[in-house]
Structure 1
């Protein structure tokens, strides 16, 4: 079946979303008979050990030296990254059926350098702000269409655009029916998840609001965090001092927890599609500038209510909570479930085999 190589990173700055969605696709490709190799850089907060724990091989690219370091998410020049990626592929280089690249700092120049050495390239993007030299392009964001990449990809590239192709683990499709059948009013369980890192501790600001909100006085509060969050211990202490608040780290049953929650307060980004699949009403917080367009597109479609950026939590979260009622919750649930059906990863895997 050929080897699939995946070039992606996680870090305290990048977060974990790129790695997690690539892992979802990797599992589907492994099930289809492919050998999968990850290529990931040893940045602070990297997920290399976690990827290996999921049963995949990882070629670790070195941490950027002080001499070559750049301030962007890549950490060094794209030329150096391309050379190191080629070296990491090693003896497998000429049997690479697909090279998947999911990184905002890599574009057509990087892809062109490696194109002759692999059979096909899949670029995963969210921004439509730079050219790609790829055979297949995936952008799973709401409102995105193929014309957004006109002039940015070769004319014969195939484009998979929109949340129909959202990369969700199979567990979300499995929990979908049960989740959609339950009532979510009144609020009895609230799920908080600010991504795998939450580098600026948005969770703390959310908990501060919930502690003083009459709307959530009787609700159980469940906080989901990643082990690399720099604020994990502080949040655990804060939650222990609250009524009915618990913290869970690196959970393996996120779909089940979402399905059993009434409301999510979460970061914009990849987890938005998980919540949509399960019809989980959400108050969304923008934790990175690249999340802004997608968050407001979903807000405009009635899928969620957007709080804004982290510095707006104290004022606007309380306001949004006070405005919640059964009709608002039902509308969000109905609108979100229509956006994502949980089968996107199958569609992407099938497109790669077409």
Structure 2
């Protein structure tokens, strides 16, 4: 049995992307018989309840300590086979300190802004010159899994993609700006959509600071708007939508797999390059950064698509071409199994 520990940033301050992609991988590893433990800091806006709700062991840790920094899981019977690190604040120094506790280390990154001490690195994004991004940031012999062929998506998205509809008109929207959405882009979008006749599913996280106001607004428009809090039905909601309003990040790949056109606002600097490239390829329409988003941008863009529905179809077809339909999560699992089963490589440092 593989023994896997995942050190992930569980805070919603940067969105829920870290945890959701780690959960997709954890669920796939569990199907292979692995025991998976999450290691997270207990900080404001954490997604610990979501991790536990999905049936995974969760251990709160404090990275400030140098004595046994991963806490209890390093003392699992037989030790840790693989430590997976998905955290923008951790790099080479922390990973090197963890070497005595794990047979191998895998890093999930998309910034390429710091060196790593790892045996396997995954960057599932669409960016220019992907092969060069980590050339001087990982050790010799580290295997790189780069690009959308390795996108970490849950099984239900691949199932929904098999029967996803063609989008050629707008009747129903999906609005999702991440679990936290501290700037309340959700509320701003709803304000601009009140005069439009389309219906919408609105998704927020349980810790959304604007939850009460959004609940009240959706109750007032219950004939058109349905609010979903911390839902498990994202694949279903994406499949029935004609257009999504959302932020950049890992949700891009879920939308693209289902051929769902999107109006996108980038809410962090690391979302800009990928979103710009998707916009150039016609797979979404980038409305700009949150700082520069004009008043009325959502209403104007939707009105334009209502008037030119052929653009919706073009966007949907372009999105479908982005993510391979044969399952990136499965490819990552196979790479992990190959790493841990390698007979000619001494993984124990």
**1:6 shift after superposition:** 0.2
- The equivalent of 2:217 in structure 1 is 238
Measured in 1, the distance between the counterparts of 2:190 and 2:246 equals 12
Q: What is the SS of the residue equivalent to 1:130?
A: coil
Contact 1:29 1:349 in 2 (8 A): yes
1:164 alignment partner, one of 120, 144, 149 = 149
**1:89 shift after superposition:** 2.5
Q: Note the residue ranges of structure 2 that are not aligned, 5 or more in a row.
A: 339-349
- The equivalent of 2:139 in structure 1 is 154
Measured in 2, the distance between the counterparts of 1:24 and 1:40 equals 17
- The equivalent of 1:65 in structure 2 is none
- The equivalent of 1:27 in structure 2 is 27
**1:292 shift after superposition:** 1.5
**1:203 shift after superposition:** 0.5
Structure 1 length normalisation: TM-score?
Answer: 0.89
- The equivalent of 1:6 in structure 2 is 6
Contact 2:169 2:312 in 1 (8 A): no
Measured in 2, the distance between the counterparts of 1:83 and 1:277 equals 43
Q: Higher mean Cα deviation, 85-94 or 34-43?
A: 85-94
Number of residue equivalences? 332
Measured in 2, the distance between the counterparts of 1:101 and 1:238 equals 39
2:169 alignment partner, one of 182, 186, 203 = 186
Distance 1:82 1:294, change over 3 A: farther
Distance 1:176 1:12, change over 3 A: closer
Measured in 2, the distance between the counterparts of 1:52 and 1:142 equals 31
1:202 alignment partner, one of 165, 185, 198 = 185
Distance 1:198 1:168, change over 3 A: same
Measured in 2, the distance between the counterparts of 1:30 and 1:82 equals 30
Distance 1:25 1:135, change over 3 A: same
Contact 1:93 1:117 in 2 (8 A): no
Contact 1:86 1:93 in 2 (8 A): no
**1:295 shift after superposition:** 1.3
Kindly indicate whether residue 113 of structure 2 is the aligned counterpart of residue 129 of structure 1.
Answer: yes
Measured in 1, the distance between the counterparts of 2:281 and 2:5 equals 36
Measured in 2, the distance between the counterparts of 1:84 and 1:306 equals 45
Kindly indicate whether residue 274 of structure 2 is the aligned counterpart of residue 294 of structure 1.
Answer: yes
Distance 1:82 1:337, change over 3 A: farther
Q: Over residues 290-340 of structure 1, what are the superposed CA-to-partner deviations in whole Å (9 max), with x where a residue is unaligned?
A: 212221121122110011123415243233223322221111111111111
Measured in 2, the distance between the counterparts of 1:232 and 1:286 equals 21
Higher helix share: 1
Q: What is the SS of the residue equivalent to 1:233?
A: helix
Distance 1:124 1:95, change over 3 A: same
Contact 1:273 1:340 in 2 (8 A): yes
- The equivalent of 1:138 in structure 2 is 122
Contact 1:3 1:95 in 2 (8 A): yes
- The equivalent of 2:46 in structure 1 is 46
Contact 1:94 1:117 in 2 (8 A): no
Structure 2 length normalisation: TM-score?
Answer: 0.90
Distance 1:223 1:81, change over 3 A: farther
Q: Higher mean Cα deviation, 143-152 or 127-136?
A: 143-152
- The equivalent of 2:295 in structure 1 is 314
